[in-house]
């Protein structure tokens, strides 16, 4: 059998079901207004929540990196661990109140690392059903048994933990902080309470909360007024609110040392660029002092939701920068997305298998850099599409 004979029918079927994915081509800098596929558009599909990806202060830091190599040249455990990496890890840990932090090239790589390294045969990984794909993949790479619970269902979570505790099974509870396709928040206070009650460990992927939620953008733990304990592991990304790239895992001294010794995606991967680490250190300073930007983002979210509700759009219950409009049918979601692009607003259609069957949606993401005028243009375009589709 050839590759073509196996996959050509699958590709054709995916296209027939309106599930085919294509890469849009950006030809300008990441920003709220940018050129994508040759069209000038307002970008409502970026995770650049604080508008730092094209910030002049970060671009200026690039002028100060003449003594740094562009590439790290090796893995952290060989010769790739530069002083800039070390300082960034220390600064992230201090900021978030953890013993240590460990850098990874991407959030996906970080999530592939933690569960296989920490969980052993006979353990349980107890995971929210709407967790990010990388968390699911990380669990499946582990020797532990994966147990999933209905989204944010604390009764279902407790049932799993109670059974494991009774049978003396070590559990790791795994959850997103902000769910990337729905935009809602994990019930972190209840989850932490249950994890502590039943002696479970806790892994929180706060990719969409770090930099945005809580005082100084410290994320969902800070937002809920919680303190992470020694059995908590936090994953955060640097390619969203920070505006750079990469990720980190924060935890106790022992947890981080365990990852250094046993996490294959860390051991066998070339370290991120020292240049990126230096720019990210500057981004961290901006994030800490970005209360005005965070408030602007919250204002933009409120402005959008008020306008969307006024025209009767089917919003999902999200208080984050991720504002999905549920449409259900994949073909309809693509049609709405294409119509928005023709109106000058870039909004991606999210379809299965990224989201469950019959829950295709527009995933609108807002930034502190969006103006109310830009958001109003989006709302007017949505209103026109809705009016046309109802006739």
CA atoms within 13 A on the CB side of 81: 13
* 27 annotated binding-site participant: no
**Residue ranges per structural domain of the chain:** 25-50+291-389, 56-288
Give the integer Cα–Cα distance in Å for 382 and 257.
Answer: 50
Asked if residue 76 belongs to a known ligand binding site, the reply is no
Please enumerate in sequence order all residues whose Cβ is within 8 A of that of 212, keeping only pairs 6 or more positions apart, or say none.
Answer: 49, 50, 178, 219, 241, 294, 297, 320, 321
Closest CA to 186 of 194, 259, 92: 194
Q: What is the pLDDT of residue 115?
A: 98
CA 250 to chain centroid: 16
Known binding residue 132? Answer is: yes
At residue 387, the pLDDT reads 83
Alpha-carbon distance 185 to 321, whole Å? Answer: 11
Q: Cis ω on the peptide bond leading into residue 163 (within 30° of 0)?
A: no
Q: What is the pLDDT of residue 389?
A: 77
Size of the chain in residues: 391
Q: Check the annotation: does 21 bind a ligand.
A: yes
Which residues have C-beta within 8 Å of that of residue 292, sequence separation ≥ 6? Answer: none
Pairing between β-strand 348-350 and β-strand 360-365 as defined by DSSP bridges: antiparallel
Residues marked active site are found at: 180, 208, 240
pTM > 0.85: yes or no:
yes
The proportion of the chain whose per-residue pLDDT surpasses 90, expressed as a percent, equals: 94
Per the CB < 8 A criterion, the answer to whether 61 and 266 are in contact is no
Beta bridge partners of 235: 205, 249
* Separation of alpha carbons 137 and 38, rounded Å: 35
d(CA 131, CA 357): 16
CATH class of 56-288: alpha beta
In this predicted model, what pLDDT tens digit does every residue of 291-322 receive, in sequence order?
Answer: 999 999 999 999 999 999 999 998 999 999 99
- For residue 168, give every residue at least 6 positions away whose Cβ sits within 8 Å of its Cβ, in sequence order, or none: none
Segments of the chain scoring below 70 in pLDDT = 391
* Strand arrangement of the beta sheet that strand 39-43 belongs to: 33-36, 39-43, 345-346
Find out whether 180 is annotated in a ligand binding site.
yes
pLDDT at residue 219, rounded to an integer: 97
Q: Fold for 25-50+291-389, please state it.
A: 3.90.1150
Q: Is 354 annotated as a binding residue?
A: yes
pLDDT of 391 reads 62
Per DSSP bridges, beta strands 247-251 and 232-237 are antiparallel
Q: Name the E strands within the chain.
A: 33-36, 39-43, 100-104, 124-128, 145-149, 171-176, 201-205, 232-237, 247-251, 322-328, 345-346, 348-350, 360-365
CA dihedral angle for residue 25, residue 32, residue 71, residue 118, rounded to 10 degrees: -100
């Amino acid at each position: 059998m050839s590759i073509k004979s196996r996959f050509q029918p699958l590709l054709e079927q995916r296209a027939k079901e309106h599930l085919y994915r294509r890469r849009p081509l950006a030809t300008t800098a990441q920003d709220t207004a940018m050129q994508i596929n040759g069209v000038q558009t307002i970008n409502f599909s970026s995770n650049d929540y604080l508008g730092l990806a094209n910030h002049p202060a970060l671009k200026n830091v690039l002028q100060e990196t003449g003594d740094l190599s562009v590439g790290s040249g090796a893995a952290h455990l060989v010769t790739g661990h530069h002083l800039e990496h070390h300082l960034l890890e220390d600064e992230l840990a201090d900021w978030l109140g953890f013993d240590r932090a460990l850098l990874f090239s991407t959030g996906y790589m970080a999530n592939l690392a933690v569960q296989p390294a920490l969980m052993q045969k006979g353990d349980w990984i107890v995971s929210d059903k709407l967790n990010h794909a990388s968390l699911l993949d990380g669990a499946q790479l582990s020797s532990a048994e994966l147990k999933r619970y209905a989204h944010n269902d604390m009764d279902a979570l407790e049932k799993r933990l109670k059974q494991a505790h009774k049978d003396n099974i070590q559990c790791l509870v795994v959850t997103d902080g902000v769910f990337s396709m729905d935009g809602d928040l994990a019930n972190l206070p209840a989850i932490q309470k249950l994890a502590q009650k039943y002696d479970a460990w806790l892994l929180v992927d706060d990719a969409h909360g770090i930099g945005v939620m809580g005082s100084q953008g410290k994320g969902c733990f800070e937002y809920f007024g919680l303190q992470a304990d020694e059995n908590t592991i936090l994953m955060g990304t640097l390619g969203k609110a920070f505006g750079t790239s990469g990720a980190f895992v924060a935890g106790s001294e022992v947890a981080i040392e365990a990852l250094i010794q046993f996490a294959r995606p860390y051991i066998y991967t070339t370290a991120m660029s020292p240049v990126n680490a230096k720019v990210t250190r500057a981004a961290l300073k901006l994030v800490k002092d970005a209360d005005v930007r965070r408030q602007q983002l919250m204002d933009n979210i409120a402005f959008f939701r008020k306008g969307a509700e006024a025209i009767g759009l089917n919003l999902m219950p999200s208080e984050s920068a991720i504002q999905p409009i549920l449409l259900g049918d994949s073909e309809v979601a693509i049609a709405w997305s294409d119509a928005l692009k023709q109106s000058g607003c870039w909004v991606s259609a999210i379809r299965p298998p990224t989201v469950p069957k019959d829950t295709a949606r527009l995933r609108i993401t807002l930034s502190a850099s969006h103006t109310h005028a830009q958001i109003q243009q989006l709302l007017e375009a949505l209103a026109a599409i809705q009016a046309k589709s109802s006739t």
